[in-house]
Amino acid sequence: MAFTQIYLNLPAADLEASKAFYLALGGTLNPQFTDETSAQVVLSDAIALQLMTHEQFSGFTKREIASGPVEVINALSVESKAEVDRLVEAALAAGGAEPRPAQDMGWLYNRAVDDPDGHSWELLAFDPSAMPGEPE
């Protein structure tokens, strides 16, 4: 079996603020799956986010919507360190928060950014050919 796409469903306290954040990351709105309670933001051919108001999201689960604790950190890779910086700065300008300083390991560069609801994302650029080998 081969998976072809990933759809992440995220609760949003303020749907408009969440849309602005993900559109600033370069996403595009799919009007076919967008209304006043939900918005699909396409990040790539293989990645789509379905942002939902809390009321809409609650229709898919009996569990309480988490607020505060981190359950998952999502990661998106891009082509370069400059692109990581550009995207994080755009996300911050659109209401995101940077929970820690950038990490630069030479072969991997990443920055963390949280969306307006606290959903955590890592934006990274890496060169696997420059990754350190196994210790001797």
What superfamily does domain 6-62+72-130 belong to in CATH? 2,3-Dihydroxybiphenyl 1,2-Dioxygenase, domain 1 (3.10.180.10)
Q: Does residue 11 register a pLDDT over 70?
A: yes
Domain residue ranges of the chain, discontinuous segments joined by +: 6-62+72-130
Residue 131 has pLDDT above 90, yes or no: no
Is the predicted pLDDT of residue 134 greater than 80, yes or no? no
Question: Between residues 108 and 70, which one has the greater pLDDT?
Answer: 108
The pTM score is 0.89
Band of residue 69 on the pLDDT scale cut at 50, 70, 90: confident
Q: What is the mean pLDDT of residues 23-45?
A: 97
In angstroms, the CA 123 to CA 103 distance is 11
pLDDT of residue 19: 97
